[in-house]
Amino acid sequence: MSGGRTLDGEVVVSGAKNAALPMLAASILSAEPLRLGNLPDLRDVHTMLSLLRILGAVVDGAAPGSASVRLAEPKSFSAPYDLVRTMRASILVLGPLLGRFGRADVSLPGGCAIGARPIDMHVNALRSMGAEVEMRGGYISARSNGLRGARIDLPLPTVTGTENIMMAAVLADGDTVIENAAREPEVRDLADCLNAMGARISGAGESRIRISGVGQLRGAEREILPDRIEAGTYLVAGAMTGGRVALRFRGELALGEVLAALRNAGADVRRGEGFVELDMGGRRPRSVNVATAPWPGFPTDMQAQFTALNAIASGHALVRENVFEQRFMHVAELRRLGADIEPLGREVLIRGVRRLQGAPVMATDLRASASLVLAALVAEGETVIHRVYHMDRGYERIEDKFSGLGAEIRRV
Ligand code: EPZ
């Protein structure tokens, strides 16, 4: 990549990875097909489709960007290690497999670059619904003769934990109440999908979710939400380069505190039905303090992007990561580009510099790699980013979309 261009153009926002993955897992709950539209062409989506095929699902992608998944006859109840280690979100098949078939063997997802990422809350919740869950040979082995509804108090509002519990509870005997549930838009979207399949879920999107078990679920047809993290990433790119970025999308795009942070950085942001437009008018961004939190707080998945913005902003900023214990892997790489960032434990102090210098850097995780692309857009000279496969997990056609905005970016 070569930096220095002012971005100006339009981007179509793809379907959200973190909405698509749980909804694909939800297809396990019915013998009838679940048809999903606006499905993003991402590595993680293909990984989840491969996993569903291993379990016995028949997948036919009617057209690019859509898929119909049907699990009539299970072939296996096991999510193998060599697949789970490439995608932690495979854990999302645990709840639906247990809920519909009473058995699941899911490889323990390893940690990843951003932390240990335990799944104790998933396991404890399923146990309280009557499942026998053991750790055996690196696998989570769960059995049940029929889950029963329970009241579940989550110590932390875990996103995939809430999703797993919801999917385990829809066919359980009786009512389940989840307290301190995750409130992310993707959680509400999953509940809407399950209700379209015949489930009875209320309160999704709030801290208390109630699920009344039903006998069985039917098929449904759904559109995937637009990806609010992809969208936020392109808006930050517009702000960092002093340019103008217009987003186009279908469905509801919940940007939450990201819009406020962009406006605090000095961007003009307009939004309407199906569009959001950021115009920086050639200005350098102002430093913006950020503290991540579960929704509706500032999303942790946007922290690395705002760390990059603050690296070239006018002033000083504190960026605090409250959700994951070590989500600052991008800091060392940004410093190689000349950023002035001082690690202070759970937060970093960033002193904005006028110019970054291009250099070879290494991507470590999905959102860290996005922050390196953002920094490379404004760094003088050439930046080569290694291990961009991290990027392909969550950003569809990233070089096409950035090229379309005027960036000099190519895959080597
Ligand atoms: C989801 O991960 C997202 N992934 C992540 O996006 C996102 O960063 C995260 O939520 C937070 O918003 C998907 O939706 C597929 P958590 P998840 O369980 O569910 C601790 C991306 O870039 N915890 O809400 O794994 C955990 O360690 C990815 O797209 C436990 O201690 O996150 C973390 O500190 C990265 N025990 C905190 O809770 C548990 O049993 C929040 O994790 C579960 C979680």
User: What's the rounded mean pLDDT across residues 361-382?
Assistant: 94
Q: For residue 15, which of 403, 395, 402 has the smallest C-alpha distance?
A: 395
Residue of the nearest CA to atom 10 in ligand 1?
A: 159
- pLDDT confidence bin for 118, thresholds 50/70/90: confident
Confidence category of residue 405, pLDDT binned at 50, 70, 90: very high
Check if 323 has its Cβ closer than 6 Å to any atom of ligand 1.
yes
Distance 165 CA to ligand 1 centre (A): 14
Residue 28 has pLDDT above 70, yes or no: yes
**Pairing state between β 356-357 and 347-351:** unpaired
Q: Is 158 in the pocket of ligand 1 (CB under 6 A)?
A: yes
Q: How far apart are CA 408 and CA 166, in angstroms?
A: 44
Q: How are beta strands 340-344 and 347-351 bridged, if at all?
A: antiparallel
Among protein residues, the one whose CA lies closest to atom 38 of ligand 1: 158
In the prediction, which pLDDT does 63 show? 73
Specify which residues 316 forms β-bridges with. Answer: 351
Tokens matching residue 24: 């694909």
CB 188 within 8 A of CB 204: yes
Q: Can you give the pLDDT at residue 174?
A: 98
- Report the share of the chain in percent with pLDDT over 70: 99
With contact defined as beta carbons under 8 Å apart, do 230 and 394 qualify?
Answer: yes
Answer with the residue of higher pLDDT: 349 or 116.
Answer: 349
Q: Ligand 1: distance of its center to the CA of 405 in Å?
A: 31
Find the distance separating the first CA and the last CA of the chain, reported in whole Å. 10
The reply to whether 193 belongs to the active site is no
Substitution site in 48, 117, 392 for ligand 1 pocket (most atoms within 8 Å of beta carbon): 117
Ligand 1 touching residue 89 (CB < 6 A):
yes
Residues 144-192 pLDDT 10s: 999 999 999 999 999 999 999 999 999 999 999 999 999 999 999 999 9
Q: Please state whether the peptide bond connecting residue 296 to the residue before it is cis, i.e. omega within 30 degrees of 0.
A: yes
The band of 325, judged by pLDDT with boundaries at 50, 70 and 90, is confident
Q: What distances in angstroms separate CA 271 from CA 7, 85, 240, one per listed residue?
A: 19, 39, 19
Sign of CA dihedral 270, 392, 401, 249: negative
pLDDT band for 365, please (50, 70, 90 cuts): confident
Q: Is the per-residue pLDDT at 41 higher than 80?
A: yes
Per-residue pLDDT, 12: 98
User: What ligand 1 atom has the least distance to the C-alpha of 324?
Assistant: 34
What is the rounded average pLDDT of the residues 255-273?
Answer: 97
Tokens of 132: 């026998």
Q: Is 123 in the pocket of ligand 1 (CB under 6 A)?
A: no
DSSP E strand stretches across 299-407? 316-320, 340-344, 347-351, 356-357, 360-362, 379-380, 384-386
Does the pLDDT at position 62 exceed 80?
no
Sequence-ordered list of residues with C-beta below 8 angstroms from that of 88, at least 6 positions apart, any chain: 109, 110, 112, 117
Mean pLDDT of the 128-150 span: 96
Confidence at residue 326, expressed as pLDDT on a 0 to 100 scale: 84
Rounded Cα distance between 154 and 157, Å, is: 6
Taking residues 138-142, what's their average pLDDT? 94
Q: Per-residue pLDDT tens for 211-247?
A: 999 999 999 999 999 999 999 999 999 999 999 999 9
Ligand 1 atom nearest 89 alpha carbon = 15
Does residue 370's CB lie within 6 angstroms of at least one atom of ligand 1? no
Please give the DSSP secondary-structure letter assigned to residue 215: S
Question: Which of 54, 108, 112, 349 is flagged as catalytic?
Answer: 112
pLDDT confidence of 111, banded at 50, 70, 90? low
Ligand 1 contact, 118 CB (< 6 A): yes
Amino acid making up residue 170: V
Quote the ligand 1 centre to 394 CA distance (angstroms). Answer: 15
Query: Does residue 92 have its Cβ closer than 6 Å to ligand 1?
Result: no
Query: How far is the C-alpha of 342 from the C-alpha of 286, rounded, in Å?
Result: 18
Q: Is the CB of 122 under 6 A from ligand 1?
A: yes
Q: How far apart are CA 21 and CA 309, in angstroms?
A: 29
Amino acid at 290: V
Given a cut of 80, whether residue 61 has pLDDT beyond it is: no
The atom number, within ligand 1, closest to the CA of 157 reads: 24
Residue minimizing CA distance to atom 4 of ligand 1: 18
